[in-house]
Structure 1
Amino acid sequence: MKIAFINSPLGITKIEGDENGIAVISVLSEGEVTTKIPLELKEAVKQLQDYFEGKRTNFDFKLNPKGTDFQQKVWQELLKIPFGKTMSYMDLSKKLGDVKAIRAVASANGKNPLWIVVPCHRVIGTDGSLTGYAGGLWRKKWLLEHENPTTQQSLF
């Protein structure tokens, strides 16, 4: 497994993967930035940097997250949430076919190993609140504002 660390506006981003795809993207509060990016990670690094610079709204590098069948199903559904949009945990549970599975869906959402790329930050409370986020609610708020220009203040 190859690893790279890059700077982002939200901390140091850790990217792990190999020729089979990217398995983990996470955020750390501190760390050393990688000076030589492994070939297997270069496309993911480029696309993440483009995202943070506001030049990219989707990702198309190969993913290879590890998780249970249920977690994989939830993560696949998360990938369908469009850039700049949000969905409630209840709506996500309904899309997966079981409103009673809301806690299991929320748990799978919290175990998402691919920060930003599998957009768990786009899932909010039914009342619109920013509920739980492994990276901290301030990061979730930043990401949602970054993705929705209508919530950002105009520079003109």
Structure 2
Amino acid sequence: MPAATRIDDELAAFLQGAVSIIAATRNAEHRPALVRAQGCRVDPGGGRLAVLVAAGQAAELIGDIRDNRRVAVVFTRPSTHRSVQIKGEDAQIAAIGDDDLALAAAYRDAMVAELALIGVPEARVRALLAAVGELVAIAFSPSSAFVQTPGPDAGRALEMPP
């Protein structure tokens, strides 16, 4: 397994901002599963992060994580298309607390404002981000990160401090 890396303050601010978040896994047969997340938190020091997902919408993804602990998460700011992919190989499913519920609510509000910049109505955003059922956290250490912004740098590994 690659050595864990650290998320710097600039990247942490991006990941925790008004970005579309898609978490993905694969099973033993390499069949993918993905789900839209409801926010991200980066631990102080940047050594670990968690994305919040609705357990009822993410059953297959959660099963994959329990089987192989691997996850890839793509973060995209809709108004600029800046995109970053963070991968982890030690993912775990964890319960959330009241702070995470507040984070998810603030995330939805931030996405309403972000998507308004490109003309998406608030009702559509709220419907898109409606979490059905209990939220859980997918927590992991970043093992690698890549630029995914469309253009000549797409796919380039991000330099991240150890």
Q: TM-score, normalised by structure 2?
A: 0.28
Q: Which structure: greater strand fraction?
A: 2
> Greater relative contact order (Cα 8 A, min sep 6): structure 1 or 2?
2
Please report the TM-score for the alignment, with normalisation by the length of structure 1: 0.29
Q: Which has the higher helix share?
A: 1
